Structure 1
Amino acid sequence: MIKHFILLVMLFVSTVAASRDLSHYVAGRLQQANQLAQDDNLKKAIDILRKTEASFDYDKAFIARMLGVFYWQNGQTQQAIEQLKYAVSSEQLKDDQAWVSERMLADLYLNERAFKQALKHYYKLIKVVPLAQLKPDVWLRVAQSHYQLEQWEDVIVTIDRYLDTDIKDRRQALTIKLGAQLALKRSHDAIDTLALLIEIEPDKLQWWRQLSVLQMQLGQQRQALSTLSLAKLNGLPLSESDRHLLAQMYARQGIPERAAIEISQLEGAQTSSQLLAEQASYWQTAKQWDLAISVWNKAAQQDPKYNWNLAKLLVQQGLYDESIPILDRVKGREMDVALVKCLAFYKLNQLDNALLEAKQADQIEPSNQAKRWITFLSELIASSRKTTAV
């Protein structure tokens, strides 16, 4: 903004001598004020212009025009606005004199966050300036004003006009467009814009993260996984939550091995019972039984509630001897534990212990399953004893 104003100031003061419509007296006073301004004596330059008496409307407009410039240079923004308003509304200025004044007034309003007033003057400028002479950044400033007023449709229309011009830096414009698209919940359009932003700034994690979130919202789970995994592959510094999310994405896409590996690389993955349990469940889903048992064991050491998961997997894998002491550590699942121990003892051919567990399970909470075990084991034990007796 400041660089742009400096260019406008140079253009303003350069037209003083060029204007043939100024009275001789006023032209002389303007030249004097201009020289003082160039010598960094703005206060004196302003005083000279304020004391300059003019009879003609054009002289008055031109004095106001230059006063606006000097006030702005001196940090007196409101006074600059008032003078430029007078110069513009006088309709005495023509062609580039009028255009530049209108532009500077609009920019001052924008700088002061008076967005409605800024838009009024930007659109007036757009109407009178030939398109070939209209600076592309006018469209950008119009879009910025609409953005601040949350006029999202207008943001997109005007930012597209800016993007259609021959500009090198598209990042700021695309960022503004993205904000408007998100506000309007146009997720598909926002995805296209994010793809362009990633091309421009591939090292900016924010764009990758936002893209993956939108893809997930639209049910594009595989694309979301590709986005986040590619960001990691490109060396972007994913946060712990990003990598946790990446693991969950792998799991949802039926790649539990990758999910387990991602979890295992998180900070605290070997000491947090929750993270250990997640790893173990992913290894179990992947049918990596040894790894699952090992990690469930670590999780149980951190939190005894995971002894139940470990014990069930040991029984499932036929490791009955190992399961018994683990089952003894399980708390709060007496009936379930008794039934699993019944199965384990049966598989170990310890029928009396199996029957004892079945009866205990039925005593804790009567169930058909426990009763079937009792009947089955009682008959099996009786038959075994008869065979032995014979």
Structure 2
Amino acid sequence: MIKQCALITVCLMSSLAVSAELSRYTAGRLQQANQLAQDENFKQAITVLRETNTSFDYDKAFVARVMAVFYWQDGQTKHAIEQMEYAVASGLLKDEQAWVSERMLADLYLTERQFKQALKHYYQLVEMMPKDHQKNDILLRIAQSHYQLEQWGDVVMSVKRYLHYDVQDRLQPLSLMLGAQLALNLPHDAITTLGQLIEIEPKKLQWWRQLSTLQMQVGKEKQALGTLSLAKLNGLALSQNDRRILAQLYAKQGIPERAAIEISQLEDAQSDIQLLVEQATYWQMAKQWEAAISIWKKAVHTDPKYNWNLAQLLIQQGYYKESVSVLDKVEGRRAGVALAKTRVYYKLEQLDKALSQAKQAERLEPSSQAKGWIKFLSQLDTASKHQKTAT
């Protein structure tokens, strides 16, 4: 808006400089209108110009140009466009006057969100650019207009032309470029652009988050891990979801212990059931059995369905007596529980109970595993009886 106000001022000042081509009558009316406008009496200034009667085409174009400025200052943008369109279309304004008028008209269309019309005049401005002017500002407006029209390929092209110049403002054009690349499904190009945006705004978490997402999308999970890890190291406040994704990436890169630690540092990590399950799972992946058991024990207090997970790990680690009471709390899985108890009782050398559980498992859900246990335990029982008879 500041740039646009400056342009309006330039347009007004250049218009009010008395031209040798203006008739004395018209020059006088312009001066009168200018005095009113300086006191912010824009409507009266407009009336003075509207009532200016002249038969000279150049005077009419010149008056329309100045009237457009007053209409804009009075908040009547549509009337400003009408007057400036007349002035520009006349072809009577020359050199700097013509360029500044076309620029104001393009900006007015942009203000009114008439992007196609704005583009028509912006492209004309590029062609008629005075030698002492830079094109970069116009090219940025062109990129903005194409963006609003969702003409993504044109956005990319316009931004590249803009960045060709040694410009200070790179944030906005690169943001436009990123949006266009995402819309065009160009993840590799977007990754490059995000790297440039992070250099400009290293504290903006959105860039880091988008970069890691795109890296995962193209299968570069190691780089995604590095991106989120560096964001955290730089002190950015990663969200709960960001850190869960970070934990998942640690796990996929074969660092489950770091994944478990990451989850354990989240809010509600010691009470939220999903977070507890994730921690326990990662500790198991890291073969940190005691840590996993500890977390599973917390999980079962919230949701008894995880007694099965706890029981299996207790059995694996040889906590047979403790596992029996946990297995008793498992809901459903009756055949699976019976088979688990078969193994536990066998390890505790309680063969009768083991055989009983194996037979129960076979009744509930016949399986080769249950049959195998029954055969094995029956043979042990027979051998034990023969041994007792022999003695």
Looking at structure 2, the residues matched to 40 and 288 of structure 1 have their Cα atoms a distance apart, in angstroms, of 78
Q: What is the aligned partner in structure 1 of residue 113 from structure 2?
A: 113
Q: What is the aligned partner in structure 2 of residue 55 from structure 1?
A: 55
Q: What is the aligned partner in structure 1 of residue 268 from structure 2?
A: 268
Looking at structure 1, the residues matched to 287 and 301 of structure 2 have their Cα atoms a distance apart, in angstroms, of 22
Q: What is the aligned partner in structure 2 of residue 302 from structure 1?
A: 302
Amino acid at match of 2:38: Q
Q: Quote how far apart the aligned CAs of 1:135 are.
A: 4.4
Looking at structure 2, the residues matched to 128 and 10 of structure 1 have their Cα atoms a distance apart, in angstroms, of 18
Q: Quote how far apart the aligned CAs of 1:110 are.
A: 0.6
Q: What is the aligned partner in structure 1 of residue 331 from structure 2?
A: 331
Q: What is the aligned partner in structure 2 of residue 258 from structure 1?
A: 258
| CA distances 1:80-124 after superposition (whole Å, capped 9, x unpaired) | 111101100111100000000000000000100001111111111
Amino acid at match of 1:255: I
Q: Which moved more, 1:367-376 or 1:138-147?
A: 367-376
Q: What is the aligned partner in structure 1 of residue 29 from structure 2?
A: 29
Amino acid at match of 1:373: W
| CA distances 1:327-371 after superposition (whole Å, capped 9, x unpaired) | 111111111111111111111111111111111111212222222
Q: What is the aligned partner in structure 2 of residue 165 from structure 1?
A: 165
Preserved CA contact (<8 Å) 1:126 1:134: no
Aligned ranges for residues 181-196 of structure 1 at < 5 Å?
A: 181-196=181-196
Preserved CA contact (<8 Å) 1:211 1:224: yes
Q: What is the aligned partner in structure 2 of residue 72 from structure 1?
A: 72
TM-score normalized by the length of structure 1 = 0.97
Secondary structure of the 1:267 match is coil
Aligned ranges for residues 81-230 of structure 1 at < 5 Å?
A: 81-130=81-130, 132-230=132-230
TM-score normalized by the length of structure 2 = 0.96
Distance 1:14 1:97, change over 3 A: closer
Q: Quote how far apart the aligned CAs of 1:305 are.
A: 0.8
Preserved CA contact (<8 Å) 2:61 2:87: yes
Distance 1:134 1:60, change over 3 A: farther
Secondary structure of the 1:235 match is coil
Q: Which moved more, 1:255-264 or 1:100-109?
A: 255-264
Preserved CA contact (<8 Å) 1:140 1:158: yes
Q: What is the aligned partner in structure 1 of residue 278 from structure 2?
A: 278
Secondary structure of the 1:75 match is coil
Q: May I ask how many residue pairs the two structures share in their alignment? A: 390
Preserved CA contact (<8 Å) 1:68 1:83: yes
Preserved CA contact (<8 Å) 1:17 1:31: no
Looking at structure 1, the residues matched to 337 and 14 of structure 2 have their Cα atoms a distance apart, in angstroms, of 93
Q: Pairwise CA RMSD of aligned residues?
A: 1.4
Amino acid at match of 2:266: L
Q: What is the aligned partner in structure 1 of residue 5 from structure 2?
A: 5
Looking at structure 1, the residues matched to 268 and 237 of structure 2 have their Cα atoms a distance apart, in angstroms, of 18
Looking at structure 1, the residues matched to 372 and 200 of structure 2 have their Cα atoms a distance apart, in angstroms, of 69
Preserved CA contact (<8 Å) 1:355 1:373: yes
Amino acid at match of 1:357: Q
Preserved CA contact (<8 Å) 1:109 1:118: yes
Looking at structure 1, the residues matched to 173 and 305 of structure 2 have their Cα atoms a distance apart, in angstroms, of 54
Preserved CA contact (<8 Å) 1:13 1:34: no
What is the percentage of aligned positions where both structures have the same residue?
65
| CA distances 1:233-285 after superposition (whole Å, capped 9, x unpaired) | 11111111111111111111111111111111222211122221111111011
Secondary structure of the 1:133 match is coil
Distance 1:40 1:136, change over 3 A: same
Q: What is the aligned partner in structure 1 of residue 288 from structure 2?
A: 288
Looking at structure 1, the residues matched to 113 and 134 of structure 2 have their Cα atoms a distance apart, in angstroms, of 23
Query: What 5-or-longer segments of structure 2 have no aligned partner?
Result: none
Looking at structure 1, the residues matched to 292 and 343 of structure 2 have their Cα atoms a distance apart, in angstroms, of 21
Q: What is the aligned partner in structure 1 of residue 243 from structure 2?
A: 243
Preserved CA contact (<8 Å) 2:7 2:104: no
Q: What is the aligned partner in structure 2 of residue 41 from structure 1?
A: 41
Secondary structure of the 2:177 match is helix
Preserved CA contact (<8 Å) 2:15 2:66: no
| CA distances 1:130-183 after superposition (whole Å, capped 9, x unpaired) | 454244211111111111111111111111111122321210110001111111
Amino acid at match of 2:216: M
Q: Quote how far apart the aligned CAs of 1:316 are.
A: 0.8
Looking at structure 2, the residues matched to 148 and 323 of structure 1 have their Cα atoms a distance apart, in angstroms, of 64
